[in-house]
Amino acid sequence: KTSFSLAAEAEAAEPSDNLNVFFVNSLSTMAILAYHLSYIGSLMVVTHSLHKYQTSTHPKTSGYYQYRLFWYGVFLFVAASTQVLLGMYLFLTLGSGPLDPPVHIANIYTIVYPEISFVVGSIQLLVAILAFCRCLDCRPSFVFSYSCAIMWIFMLVLQLMVQVCMDNSDNAGLSPMATAPTRACIYLSIALMPAFLDYKMSIQPDINNLIS
């Protein structure tokens, strides 16, 4: 099932279910925006960094990376919230996994076990909160980088491999496994870029130290 098939079923059932459909489709839209903005943004950040390096005009302070880390924390927080809420909603409405048929959300999530979505989303929420904390503390620390690495492992194994491999349905004539490499690239940007920006932020001097 996709978010749109859930909408069609609800409209055919009772008008009161339209609120639930609006809820699911809203989360789908938010997930698309969060993951794809982080993916496009990662390409822009890397391209901009290469340009600055070649022209020897790379940032001299941590504020440049600190500002961008905040926005990637926002993207991660939104993506995590959608996954937690979807996991809770599907668990309360459809029960525990495995769901038959699985639920496909905007070609971003394939949910066979709502419990897995809730767990992975909760880990993402913790890392997003930690990213906001790192924006306030530019001292060198590898804790956040390790946290992003652990989050990426959970996303790769549970969110991608387990959920997608357990799905045997045919979604719009395309097997979900065929989209797994593309999803992995999109997932990687939201997990890798915060760690990259945090590292770059920590090795740059703070603007207050330069002024003093």
**Global pTM value:** 0.79
Q: Is the peptide bond before 102 cis (omega within 30 degrees of 0)?
A: no
**CA 181-131-91 angle, 5° bins:** 60
Amino acid at 138: C
Residue 174 pairs in a beta bridge with 171
**Closest listed residue to residue 166, CA positions, set 100, 71, 75, 74:** 100
pLDDT digits (tens, 9 = 90+) for 59-108: 656 677 888 888 899 999 999 999 999 888 888 888 877 887 778 777 78
Please give the Cα distance from 169 to 94 (Å, whole number). 17
pLDDT digits (tens, 9 = 90+) for 25-50: 888 888 889 988 888 888 887 787 77
pLDDT band at 128 (very low <50, low <70, confident <90, very high): very high
| Amino acid 17: pLDDT | 52
Average pLDDT for 1-12:
44
**pLDDT > 90: percent of the chain:** 13
- 134-to-39, 48, 171, 198 alpha-carbon distances in Å: 21, 22, 40, 7
| Amino acid 105: pLDDT | 78
